[in-house]
Amino acid sequence: MDPKDGERMGAAGPGPLSRQGSIYSLTFDEFQNTLGGMGGGLGKDFGSMNMDELLRSIWTAEESQAIASASASASASAAGAGAGPVGDGGAALQRQGSLTLPRTLSVKTVDEVWRDFAREGPPGPTAGGAEPQPNRQPTLGEMTLEEFLVRAGVVRDNPAAAAAAAAAAVSAQPVAPRPIQAVNNGASIFFGNFGGANDAGAGAMGFAPVGIGDQAMGNGLMPGVAGMAGGAVTVVSPVDTSVAQLDSMGKGNGDLSSPMAPVPYPFEGVIRGRRSGAGVEKVVERRQRRMIKNRESAARSRARKQAYTMELEAEVQKLKEQNEELQKKQEEIMEMQKNQVLEVISNPYAQKKRCLRRTLTGFGEPKFLLYISDQQSRMYQC
């Protein structure tokens, strides 16, 4: 991000959200046509979509655009109806401010939001570049995506406001899994944080760095990150989902260098481009810390389980061995007893002899008794 862009952002205020080549300058009708043309088969009218779905479809469209612009830069301008100077790098991915979808908004359908607009009356001066003339926008189809998103409160041009909103959202619902926050153009702020988060994460657990993981996720959502240097989009979703994502994603770094993002990721440049937005930074940091803690706790839980399993396995092994030993011993004893009996049966002579010998060495009655008893027991032998 060059500093000029930052200035533009700060000073322009209500300036246009979109750059040329951006789908944000399209109206809903045009956007739908574009999607149809791209074969993005939505199968659904925008009106019945909820805001989440709308954003997702916009991002999808953006992706395709980014891919197109990566392969042939001309196609970007073909897709975008707007005019103006080319922005920095991947214009298709550029957005300003921050996208924040509170829970209440994300589940509303586009139609509902549209109706809310109608009730509220003409748009304020912050509503994109268009002048507030309600009669000029009688239908949803004619409204640009940009304007719609701005009025719906999804997009804020001012990063400070976005930060405040984000902070509010976080403090209000610290663990709510739904709200999706996409911080765009504030990407550099994010990446600056990743350094710290990575340190903490790696130091604490030796896990794949948190920030990179998120980045990878962003890439997953938008495969054509050709304009990464210009302005990337990072989607930070709540801890649980992002952890799941990270697990499935594997190493974030690997993803970064994957063919999905052909342009190597200029990390230093991004850090250099660190901008104001301490609020966002704080929120992000807190989120990262929570994520790291959560991950640590998960690791502990796994270790606990594994340790207990090991202990039980060792116990089982020990008992098995003991059991085997005892069984062997028992067998030996049984064998010995059997042998004794067999010996007595098969070789009574030795027995007799022994008896006899004993009787011979003995005196008086016992000799006779022993001899008798022996004879009695083995009558047939005599």
Compare residues 136 and 293 and give the one whose CB is closer to other proteins.
293
Strand residues in the chain grouped as ranges (E): 98-101, 155-156, 180-184, 233-236
Is residue 319 within the footprint of other proteins (CB under 8 A)? no
Q: Which stretch binds other proteins (CB under 8 A): 81-89, 176-184, 225-233, 305-313?
A: 305-313
Q: Which amino acid is at 249?
A: M
Is residue 344 within the footprint of other proteins (CB under 8 A)? no
Is residue 323 within the footprint of other proteins (CB under 8 A)? no
Say how many residues make up the chain: 382
Q: Which stretch binds other proteins (CB under 8 A): 19-27, 193-201, 253-261, 308-316?
A: 308-316
Sign for the CA dihedral angle at 18, 23, 26, 27 comes to: negative
Alpha carbons 248 and 243: distance in angstroms, whole number: 9
Alpha carbons 76 and 98: distance in angstroms, whole number: 23
Q: Which stretch binds other proteins (CB under 8 A): 83-91, 233-241, 312-320, 338-346?
A: 312-320
Compare residues 17 and 210 and give the one whose CB is closer to other proteins.
210
Is residue 312 within the footprint of other proteins (CB under 8 A)? yes
Q: How many residues lie near other proteins (CB under 8 A)?
A: 16
Alpha carbons 288 and 302: distance in angstroms, whole number: 21
Is residue 329 within the footprint of other proteins (CB under 8 A)? no
Query: Which residue in 168, 244, 278, 314 binds other proteins (CB under 8 A)?
Result: 314
Query: Which residue in 131, 199, 240, 311 binds other proteins (CB under 8 A)?
Result: 311
Least distance in angstroms from the C-beta of 306 to other proteins: 5
Is residue 368 within the footprint of other proteins (CB under 8 A)? no
Both tokens assigned to 260: 């999905």
Helix axis angle, 28-38 to 51-71, nearest 10°: 60
Compare residues 8 and 328 and give the one whose CB is closer to other proteins.
328
Compare residues 290 and 367 and give the one whose CB is closer to other proteins.
290
Backbone dihedral region for residue 89 (phi beyond 0: left; psi -120 to 50: alpha; all else: beta): left
Alpha carbons 66 and 119: distance in angstroms, whole number: 36
Give which of 292, 59, 288 is closest to 170, Cα–Cα: 288
Least distance in angstroms from the C-beta of 304 to other proteins: 6
Alpha carbons 280 and 12: distance in angstroms, whole number: 20
User: Could you say which residues in the range 275-304 bind other proteins, by CB under 8 A?
Assistant: 293, 296-297, 300-301, 303-304
Radius of gyration of the chain (CA): 40
How are beta strands 180-184 and 98-101 bridged, if at all? antiparallel
Is residue 318 within the footprint of other proteins (CB under 8 A)? yes
Least distance in angstroms from the C-beta of 210 to other proteins: 15
- Site map 76..115 versus other proteins, x via CB under 8 A: ----------------------------------------
Number of H helices, E strands in the chain: 16, 4
Compare residues 115 and 305 and give the one whose CB is closer to other proteins.
305
Give contact residues for other proteins (rule: CB under 8 A): 293, 296-297, 300-301, 303-304, 306-308, 310-312, 314-315, 318
